[in-house]
Amino acid sequence: MNLNNTVLKIASVLIAVVVWFIVATSEQQEVSFYVPVKFVKEPEGLKAFTDTNLLSVLVKGSKISMKSLSFNDIKIEIDTSNFKSGDYLYRIKPNDITLPSGISLVRVEPQDIRFIVDKVGKKTVKVLPSFLGELKSGFKIVGVSITPSYVTAFGTSKKIKNIDSVETLPINITDIDKSIKMNIGVKWNEIITNTNPSEVTVEVRVAENIVEKQISDFDVVVKGVKDKFTDKLILENKKVSFTIKGRSDRVENIEKVKVYVDASKIDRVGRYELPVLVETGNDIEVYNIKPSKVMVEVKR
């Protein structure tokens, strides 16, 4: 009886494995990869140039086959042995794409690419920074240093003579609030396919963005009035103007501004010229208050 149970258990496991294998190998799955374009068998003394370096390749295969598949397993190779010097619009053919066994091509995008076949030329060009994102609010770039500031660019001889500069790969400055220094590659395109050196050192100097803002016709209030003078005090100049200075995000989003005169020392009837006081907080400087003093009168 125990032997029969063991046999049944083993048979059940084997059946489950077989069913899983059938499902895994029969269920089809589609996956998209970005695959680099490579030119092969280039004519002697010539080279192919394109700015469409990556193509989106959608492939299909069994679920088990797709599990370990990567873009490195897919190759796009264009044979340029029969091309002469010139500009070409080329449609990608299925036999340009090499796929692992059991994987089939669904589509490739873009299907058409442009490339140039030309002699390799070179030129010394200036390196310009390229940025991605925005600094943290309230900060600005005050300087950029690139070392070396010039590189030797290699590319199509027909077009490279018209190039005076080349950009770095994008430097991510998203939410940065301090200076940064990094090594970063130089961006290549359909004209420039290589540079010497291929990498530069970029230093981005960041500082607070200090701005000024004029505030006009702001209401003045009286603080510290003794109870016995509450109904007898008259403020003659009720509005003032002033300038605030500070970090841009704080200045533009300022909320708590208090403009007042301190009447706490007034203890008798009369006219008093009191200084205008402005409180802003948040490290914001206030100056050029006009009028800087206002007249307060306490009547009998």
pLDDT at 13: 64
* Choice among 47-56, 125-134, 271-280 with the minimum mean pLDDT: 47-56
212 within 8 A of 154, measured Cβ to Cβ:
no
pLDDT at 290: 95
pLDDT at 93: 94
Q: Does domain 120-208 have CATH number 3.40.190.10?
A: no
Q: Is the pLDDT of residue 34 over 90?
A: yes
Chain segment 191-226, per-residue pLDDT in tens? 888 899 999 999 999 999 999 999 999 999 999 988
Chain segment 55-90, per-residue pLDDT in tens? 999 999 988 888 888 889 999 999 999 999 999 999
Chain segment 241-274, per-residue pLDDT in tens? 999 999 999 998 888 899 999 999 988 889 999 9
Q: Is the pLDDT of residue 18 over 60?
A: no
Q: Is the pLDDT of residue 19 over 80?
A: no
Say how many residues make up the chain: 300
Which token pair is 36?
């680099």
Q: Is the pLDDT of residue 228 over 70?
A: yes
CATH of domain 210-298: 2.170.120.30
pLDDT at 113: 95
Q: Is the pLDDT of residue 185 over 90?
A: yes
State the DSSP code for 88: E
Q: What is the pTM of this model?
A: 0.67
3-state secondary structure 255-287: CCCEEEEECCCCCCCEEEEEECEEECCCCCEEE
Residue 16 pLDDT grade (very low, low, confident, very high; cuts 50, 70, 90): low
pLDDT at 2: 58
pLDDT at 186: 95
Instruction: Please list the residue range(s) of the chain that carry CATH number 2.170.120.30.
Output: 25-118, 210-298
pLDDT at 17: 55
Instruction: Please list the residue range(s) of the chain that carry CATH number 2.170.120.40.
Output: 120-208
CATH of domain 25-118: 2.170.120.30
Question: Is 221 strand, coil or helix?
Answer: strand
Question: Is 197 strand, coil or helix?
Answer: coil
Q: Which of 1, 3, 111 is nearest to 57 (CA)?
A: 111
Q: What is the phi-psi region of residue 240: left when phi exceeds 0, alpha when psi lies from -120 to 50, beta otherwise?
A: beta
For residues 134-142, average pLDDT: 96
